[in-house]
Copies of this chain bind each other. A is one copy, B any other.
Amino acid sequence: MGEGRPLGVGLIGAGKIGRVHARNLAERLSGARLVAVADPEAGAASAIADRLGAGAVCAAPEELLAHEAVEAVVIASPTPTHADLIHAAAASGKHVFCEKPIALDLAVIDAALGAVARAGITLQVGFQRRFDRSFRQARDLVAAGRIGRPRLVRVTSRDPQPGPIQYLRESGGLFMDMTIHDFDVARFLIADEVDEVTALGTVLVDPAIGTEANDVDTAIVTLRYASGALGVIDNCRQATYGYDQRAEVFGSEGAVMVGNEELDRTTLVTADGARNANPKPWFTDRYADAYAAEMQAFVDAVRSGRPAEVGGEDGRAPVAIALAAQRSALEGRPVLVSSVEPLPRQAHAAS
C-alpha cells in the first residue's frame, strides 16, 4: 500500500456504534476513507453513506467484502454475527476491526483467531477505553514504574440507565456486556493476567432485569492477578448522575487514579455548598475522542503493517474472565479463569 493512499474501509452494521465509527472514518481520521456501508436495514446504511459521502451501499456484508475498494472492515453488527464475519473477512483478505465481544464462546473465538492468523490479516478489537487519554496516561504511569509494583486495582463503571429489557436479555448478561470493558481495563492498566474471579451480583435497579432478563443489574467482582495483585470492579446499570467511569491502581510507591470528565468546569458556590457539573452523560460523550483514536490506531496499524494494539488475545481474555464471573456468581464461589477454558487450553493452562 502506497504511503499516501488512504485505506478503503467498509462498515458492517449501521447502528449506534457503527455511526460513531463511520463519522470518525469520514471526518476525523487521516489515512482512511469510508468506501462502503452494509446493513440489513437499507435506510440506515444509505443515511450514513449519503451524509458522509461513502460510495457503496450494500445490502449484505458479503457484497461489501467483495467490493474492491474495501481493504478493511469495521464489524459493528450484533455480536452473534461477529465470528462468521471475521471468517469471511479473513477469507477475503480484508483487515478487521471488530466490536467487542468477538463471541460469547471461547472455542468460537479461537476458531476466528485461527482464521485471522492463517490469513495474515490485522485484527483489532473494540476496547476503546484503552485509547482514552486518562486511562492511557494511567497505564503509562504504571508501566513506567511510577507507582511501583501494583497491589490493588479498582474500577468503577456505572451506566446512566439500563437498556430495554429486550436488549438486556440478548446482551450476554451484565458480566459479558458491561463488565467486559472493565475486565479489559483491569488487564490493560497493569499488563497482568486475571487468574481468579469472585462475582457478587444482585438486582437493585429493576426487578424485571432479574425476572425477565435473568440477569443482575448491580455487581462487585473481585480479581486475583497472576502477579498476586488484587482487583475489584463495581458496576451498576443505573446512575442518576451520569456515566461513571473511574479507576485506580495502587502500588508499592503510590497510586494513580482516573476520574470522570465533567460536562463543564463551572462551580457554583452558595450558602448551600459548592456545586460542580456531573460526569459526561454517556459513552458517546465520554469516549468520543477514544473512539476516534482507536480507529486511527487501527488504520495506522494496517497501513504500517505493525500489529494492532488490541489484538485477538486481548479480545479473548475478557470473555474468559466474564465466563468465569458468570459461573462465580451462579455458584457463589471463586472461580479460576483457567477452569472455563475449552479443554485443550485448560490442560495447557494447568500445566
Show the binding face of A for B, using Cβ within 8 Å: 27-28, 53, 133-134, 137-138, 141, 146-149, 151-152, 154, 156, 158, 198, 200, 202, 204-205, 218-220, 222, 224, 228-232, 234, 236, 238-241, 244, 250, 252-278, 332-334
By a CB distance below 8 angstroms, the chain B residues around A264 are 133-134, 137
CB–CB A200/B230 < 8 A: yes
Of B27, B158, B259, B273, which is within 8 A of A265 by CB?
Answer: B259
CB–CB A241/B259 < 8 A: no
Q: Given the known inter-chain contacts A137-B277, A258-B265, A275-B275, please indicate yes or no for A218 contacting B270, CB distance below 8 A.
A: no
By a CB distance below 8 angstroms, the chain B residues around A229 are 202, 204
Stoichiometry (number of copies):
4
CB–CB A268/B256 < 8 A: yes
A158 vs B250: C-alpha distance in the bound complex, in angstroms? 10
CB–CB A151/B254 < 8 A: no
Min CB gap A174→B, angstroms:
13
Given A151-B205, A151-B236, 9 more pairs with CB closer than 8 A: A133-B264, A133-B266, A141-B266, A146-B268, A202-B229, A220-B231, A230-B234, A256-B268, A259-B266
CB–CB A152/B218 < 8 A: yes
Min CB gap A53→B, angstroms:
8
By a CB distance below 8 angstroms, the chain B residues around A219 are 230
CB–CB A198/B218 < 8 A: no
A141 vs B264: C-alpha distance in the bound complex, in angstroms? 13
By a CB distance below 8 angstroms, the chain B residues around A141 are 266, 268
Of B156, B228, B255, B270, which is within 8 A of A253 by CB?
Answer: B270
CB–CB B270/A241 < 8 A: yes
Of B53, B202, B222, B240, which is within 8 A of A254 by CB?
Answer: B240
Min CB gap A146→B, angstroms:
6
